[in-house]
Amino acid sequence: MDYGVTTIQNVAQVIHKDLVPSTPGVSRYRPTDSPREAFVAVPPRT
């Protein structure tokens, strides 16, 4: 079941849109072409 990954990706996109542009504290969070890279706890799908 991939619903967990999908949910995290959706949340990541929302957080990125709302916080990253105006919150310096989120500098550690660097979204790339793959949102999964921002969450180490999420294993890549095989």
Q: Is residue 45 part of a domain?
A: no
- Which structural domain range is residue 20 located in? 3-38
The 10s digit of each residue's pLDDT in 28-43 is 555 555 555 555 555 5
Residue 16: closest CA among 28, 6, 3: 28
pLDDT, average across residues 8-20: 65
> What is the pLDDT, as a whole number, of residue 46?
60
Q: Is the pTM of this model over 0.85?
A: no
pLDDT class of 9 with cuts at 50, 70, 90: confident
Distance CA 41, CA 17 (A): 22
- Structural domains of the chain, count: 1
Q: Is residue 33 part of a domain?
A: yes
